[in-house]
């Protein structure tokens, strides 16, 4: 049988003769076509078979790439059946050198979901209570339970403030007030951590996924939150303090506090220029240094 060397070109492109690409490289190329307008809003994508042939990859890699773009709201109708469709409203890029910061709960959930398309998921987090991380895990856990994704291994490390320190925030404006804010934060920290741990470890029994989650305690209140995904992404946000009031134990208290879920999250990705690559690398060095030196064992109880 004679095989036409021009066979299965997508959008005028010949099948790649380069070494097999990763699913992230496929996603990057398709993202560029969408952003440039080559693939227009509402247009049907090539079939997964066509894309696999064009890029010289397995269909599984194509599906992972399409799920990443779906998590970024660039594609809709991603399934094993009919071709996906380019989203009607293609917003600004969530990653890359020109990506704008977005509120943590907008950006973090989509990037965590994309990270779960990898066979080995690695997530490191430094935060005040893990509430944003716990909420962001909801979508990938749903996709796993629906059978749409199934990583082989998930490793999560979380750095949280120790219960043995006086928190810099949340803190009462009147420093003569008792430790109600500290006790409330501690209960919240423990509850969020326990929910996160339970939800992830349940994947062992329900789906046979090799899951490991570890918490360690910091001897200081982190002024920032940092999320490191699969060794290639760093998401960074400041905890911006405001003065606000709230009723606690039937008494109105003025406090200095930060709403972490609304903090603007800045994305950096390895390979998106020297600046981003260096930031990701240095963030990993910083996190690992804290983990291996001054952090201590953390038990999520009182």
Question: Running DSSP on this structure, what letter comes out for residue 3?
Answer: P
Contact 228, 126 (CB under 8 A): no
Structure tokens at 219: 């001897």
- For the CA atoms of 213, 193, 68, 23, the dihedral, rounded to the nearest 10 degrees, stands at -10
Backbone dihedral region for residue 74 (phi beyond 0: left; psi -120 to 50: alpha; all else: beta):
alpha
Angle between helices 59-71 and 48-55 (to 10 degrees): 110
pLDDT-derived band at 33, boundaries 50, 70, 90: confident
Angle at alpha carbon of residue 34, lines to 88 and 141, rounded to 5°: 75
Burial (CB count <10 Å: 0-12, 13-18, 19+), residue 241: middle
pLDDT digits (tens, 9 = 90+) for 81-119: 678 888 877 655 555 445 678 888 888 988 999 899 899
Q: What global pTM score does this model have?
A: 0.72
Span 136-141, mean pLDDT? 94
Residue 16, pLDDT above cutoff 90: no
Query: What pLDDT is recorded for position 244?
Result: 93
Residue 285, pLDDT above cutoff 50: yes
pLDDT digits (tens, 9 = 90+) for 151-209: 999 999 999 999 999 999 999 999 888 899 999 999 999 999 999 999 999 999 999 99
Question: Which of 33-37, 97-101, 114-118, 292-296 is predicted least confidently?
Answer: 97-101
Helices (H) and strands (E) in the chain, counts: 8, 13
Contact 56, 10 (CB under 8 A): no
Nearest-CA neighbor of 240 among 218, 220, 225, 219? 225
pLDDT-derived band at 225, boundaries 50, 70, 90: very high
Question: Which of 51-55, 67-71, 168-172, 175-179 is predicted least confidently?
Answer: 67-71
Rounded Cα distance between 83 and 46, Å, is 6
Query: What pLDDT is recorded for position 6?
Result: 38
CB neighbourhood size of 224 (10 A) = 13
Compute the mean pLDDT over every residue in the chain, rounded to the nearest whole number. 86
């Amino acid at each position: 049988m004679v095989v036409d060397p021009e066979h299965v070109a997508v959008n005028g492109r010949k099948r790649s003769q380069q070494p097999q690409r990763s699913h992230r490289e496929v996603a990057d190329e398709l993202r560029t076509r969408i952003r440039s307008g080559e693939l227009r809003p509402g247009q049907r994508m090539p079939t997964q078979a066509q894309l696999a042939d064009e890029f010289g990859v397995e269909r599984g890699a194509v599906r992972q790439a399409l799920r990443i773009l779906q998590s970024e709201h660039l594609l809709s109708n991603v399934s094993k059946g009919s071709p996906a469709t380019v989203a009607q409203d293609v917003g600004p890029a969530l990653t890359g050198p020109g990506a704008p910061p977005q509120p943590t709960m907008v950006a973090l959930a989509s990037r965590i979901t994309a990270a779960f398309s990898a066979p080995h998921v690695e997530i490191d987090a430094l935060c005040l209570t893990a509430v944003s991380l716990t909420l962001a895990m909801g979508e990938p856990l749903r996709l796993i339970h629906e059978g749409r994704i199934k990583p082989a291994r998930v490793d999560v490390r979380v750095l949280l403030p120790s219960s043995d320190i006086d928190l810099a925030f949340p803190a009462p404006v009147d420093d003569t007030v008792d430790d109600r804010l500290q006790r409330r934060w501690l209960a919240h920290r423990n509850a969020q951590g326990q929910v996160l741990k339970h939800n992830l470890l349940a994947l062992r029994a329900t789906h046979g996924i090799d899951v490991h989650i570890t918490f360690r305690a910091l001897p200081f209140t982190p002024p920032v939150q940092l999320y490191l995904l699969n060794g290639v992404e760093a998401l960074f946000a400041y905890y911006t303090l405001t003065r606000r009031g709230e009723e606690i134990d039937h008494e109105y208290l003025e406090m200095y506090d930060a709403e972490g879920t609304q903090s603007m999250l800045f994305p950096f990705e390895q390979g998106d220029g020297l600046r981003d690559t260096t930031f990701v690398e240095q963030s990993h060095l910083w996190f690992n240094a804290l983990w291996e030196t001054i952090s201590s064992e953390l038990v999520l109880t009182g």
